[in-house]
């Protein structure tokens, strides 16, 4: 809720630590490539709901898109502001930061419609995804893209199994919630359920992808990947991008990225 900044205590952990890892790099890289397959060429307006510190939408601003980042957390918006200040002036001019709840996104952006509406890593923190998904679909222009990334309910046993918590793993096959890596309880969805929600709101699902797989499994298995080894990181990201597009790999990713397109109004 606006006014209750539950993300204040997580801002550093998420924005600085999680994204500094190889896994963080892979997430941004893979999803950026997946998005570019569906976005119109820049310039075009993009709304990032629950955009946090801008890790996904600032690269789009750098690519020439006009970005509106909407987030309910003042602490995360501060992080976004600090990161934005380090980018070239022309990129800064293409980004607008707005404080507000995603569930009131349409009002927060004064009815503007967007060529793409992103919502990555947010739905899992909400009890019911429907009100937010409705708003994402409303804010997309006719022909616009809706891009959702969230936890995959079908892979709940992966993390406890890799951490050798076997009793938890056994109990996780049909579980919908778990305490995530940030220490917050998260809820997972399925591609089918979110596709159905989109369809009911005029957005046709186009394609879905995995996000990270091997780096995630390696990390939980205890391997340390060096984010400063640029050559290795690039090679890793190339493998992850390929895995994210194919069965059975994408089905095993703990998060999925679903992209839909809004029909004519
Ligand atoms: C895990 S972070 C993801 C940030 C960003 N989308 C990314 O992928 O890097 C979740 C973000 O969602 C924001 N958030 C959570 N619930 C929200 C809501 N109901 N409306 C708007 N933002 C919300 C949090 O403040 C936080 O910045």
> Is residue 125 within 6 Å of ligand 1 at its C-beta?
yes
pLDDT in tens, 65-102: 999 999 999 999 999 999 999 999 999 999 999 999 99
pLDDT, greater one: 8 or 55: 55
Q: What is the pLDDT of residue 2?
A: 46
- What is the pLDDT, as a whole number, of residue 18? 75
SS (H, E, C) 206-244: EEEEECCCHHHHHHHCCCCCCCCCHHHHHHHHHHHHHHH
Residue closest by Cα to atom 14 of ligand 1? 50
- Return d(Cα 101, Cα 132) in angstroms, integer: 9
Per DSSP, 200 falls in state T
User: Which two structure tokens, joined as six digits, stand for 104?
Assistant: 């009131």
Q: Output the residue whose Cα is nearest ligand 1's atom 22.
A: 50
**Closest by alpha carbon to 129, among 191, 68, 73, 75?**
191
**Confidence class for position 4, pLDDT limits 50, 70, 90:** low
- For the Cβ of 147 lying below 6 angstroms from any atom of ligand 1, the answer is no
Give the distance (Å) from ligand 1 centre to CA of residue 166: 31
Express as a percent the part of the chain with pLDDT over 70: 98
pLDDT of residue 133 exceeding 60 = yes
Q: Is the CB of 102 under 6 A from ligand 1?
A: yes
Query: Does residue 8 register a pLDDT over 90?
Result: no
> Given a cut of 80, is residue 15 above it in pLDDT?
no
Q: Alpha-carbon torsion 56, 59, 65, 67, what sign? A: positive
* 58 CB near ligand 1 (under 6 Å): no
The candidate with the shortest Cα–Cα distance to 169, out of 156, 179, 157, is: 157
Please list the helix, strand and coil fractions of the chain in percent, rounded to the nearest 5, in that order.
45, 20, 30
C-alpha 157 – ligand 1 centre gap (Å):
25
Q: Which token pair is 64?
A: 């020439």
Whole-structure pTM over 0.75, yes or no? yes
């Amino acid at each position: 809720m606006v006014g209750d900044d539950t993300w204040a205590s997580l801002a550093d952990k998420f924005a600085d630590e999680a994204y500094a890892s190889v896994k963080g790099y892979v997430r941004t890289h893979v999803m950026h490539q997946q998005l570019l397959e569906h976005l119109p060429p820049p310039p075009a307006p993009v709304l990032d709901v629950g955009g946090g510190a801008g890790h996904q939408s600032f690269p789009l601003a750098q690519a020439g898109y006009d970005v509106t980042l909407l987030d309910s957390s003042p602490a995360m918006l501060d992080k976004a502001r600090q990161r934005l200040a380090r980018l070239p002036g022309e990129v800064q001019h293409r980004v607008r930061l707005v404080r507000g709840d995603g569930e009131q996104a349409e009002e927060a952006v004064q009815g503007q419609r967007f060529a793409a509406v992103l919502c990555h890593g947010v739905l899992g923190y909400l009890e019911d995804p429907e009100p937010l998904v409705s708003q994402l679909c409303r804010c997309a222009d006719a022909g616009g893209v809706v891009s959702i990334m969230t936890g995959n309910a079908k892979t709940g046993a992966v993390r406890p199994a890799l951490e050798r918590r076997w009793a938890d793993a056994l109990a996780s096959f049909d579980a919908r919630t778990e305490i995530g890596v940030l220490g917050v309880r998260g809820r997972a969805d399925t591609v089918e359920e979110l596709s159905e929600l989109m369809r009911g709101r005029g957005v046709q699902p186009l394609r879905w992808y995995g996000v990270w797989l091997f780096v995630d499994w390696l990390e939980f298995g205890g391997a340390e990947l060096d984010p400063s080894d640029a050559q290795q990181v690039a090679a890793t990201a190339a493998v992850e991008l390929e895995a994210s597009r194919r069965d059975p790999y994408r089905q095993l990713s703990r998060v999925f990225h679903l992209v839909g397109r809004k029909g004519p109004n």
